[in-house]
């Protein structure tokens, strides 16, 4: 016949050892919890850093010159106040060794900032462009005159070819693709 007293003591020892093991495992899991949370936060932070680095490399680089002109891969922008004196400002965009696109920007007497290629549909092969005389732009090839308020409004014929522009805040913005649309006026290999 088994000794029930000894079995009861042994049973208490076994259950006491099991309880101690269980407590040790639970306590070790509890002590690992802060480390698991810290690790998860590190992974999230690292992922955020990689995402930020990737996003920041996708942004365009912008170059600004002393007159405040900003040039990026997709646009050229000018400070609006650069044109406050109503004088035409001339600019160039070099496409390649053979073609440089010329354009001008001015603020007309009605207060609108206007942009046009320094060429037209008729006289572009002469490559002479326009000059400003008071409130008009004059074709250097045929002498026709165009009031500043008609620049970028009227197109065709000998009118200065319009150049699309927009104003964002205090900047006049020309998209590079719009500047490139005037390439045909400056490809002098196509002269007749």
Give tens-digit pLDDT for 168-177.
999 999 999 9
Q: How confident is the model at residue 32 (pLDDT cuts 50, 70, 90)?
A: low
pLDDT at 41: 60
| Range of weakest confidence among 7-16, 46-55, 125-134, 154-163 | 46-55
pTM for the model: 0.66
The least confident of 17-21, 67-71, 163-167 is 17-21
Q: Could you give the dihedral angle defined by the CA atoms of residues 177, 163, 82 and 158, in that order, rounded to the nearest 10 degrees? A: 150
- The mean pLDDT value for 92-99 works out to 93
Q: 3-class SS at 39?
A: helix
Q: 128: exposed, middle or buried (C-beta count within 10 Å: 0-12, 13-18, 19+)?
A: middle
**Better pLDDT: 75 or 22:** 75
Q: Which residue has the higher pLDDT, 90 or 26?
A: 90
Per-residue pLDDT at 53 exceeds 80: no
pLDDT value for 51? 45
**Does the pLDDT of residue 22 top 70, yes or no?**
no
Question: Which is more confident, 150 or 55?
Answer: 150
What pLDDT score does 23 carry? 62
Intra-chain end-to-end CA distance of the chain, in Å:
124
Q: Quick check: 8 pLDDT over 90?
A: no
128 pLDDT band, cuts 50/70/90, is very high
Which option is the CATH number for 63-190: 1.20.58, 2.102.10, 3.40.50, 1.10.260?
Answer: 2.102.10
Contact 107, 84 (CB under 8 A): yes
Supply the mean pLDDT for the chain: 80
């Amino acid at each position: 016949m088994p000794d029930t007293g000894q079995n009861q003591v042994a049973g208490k020892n076994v259950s006491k050892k099991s309880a101690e093991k269980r407590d040790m495992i639970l306590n070790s899991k509890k002590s690992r919890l802060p480390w698991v949370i810290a690790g998860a936060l590190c992974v999230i932070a690292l992922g955020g850093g990689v995402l930020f680095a990737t996003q920041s490399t996708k942004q365009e680089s912008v170059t600004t010159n002393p007159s405040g002109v900003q040039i990026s891969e997709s646009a050229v922008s000018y400070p609006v106040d650069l044109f406050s004196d109503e004088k035409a400002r001339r600019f160039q965009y070099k496409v390649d060794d053979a073609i440089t696109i010329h354009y001008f920007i001015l603020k007309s007497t009605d207060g609108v900032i206007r942009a046009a290629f320094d060429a037209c549909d008729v006289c572009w092969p002469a490559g002479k462009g326009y000059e400003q005389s008071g409130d008009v732009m004059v074709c250097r090839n045929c002498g026709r005159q165009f009031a500043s308020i008609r620049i970028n409004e009227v197109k065709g014929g000998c009118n200065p070819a319009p150049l699309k522009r927009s104003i964002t805040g205090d900047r006049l913005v020309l998209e590079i693709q719009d500047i490139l649309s005037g390439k045909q006026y400056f490809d002098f290999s196509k002269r007749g």
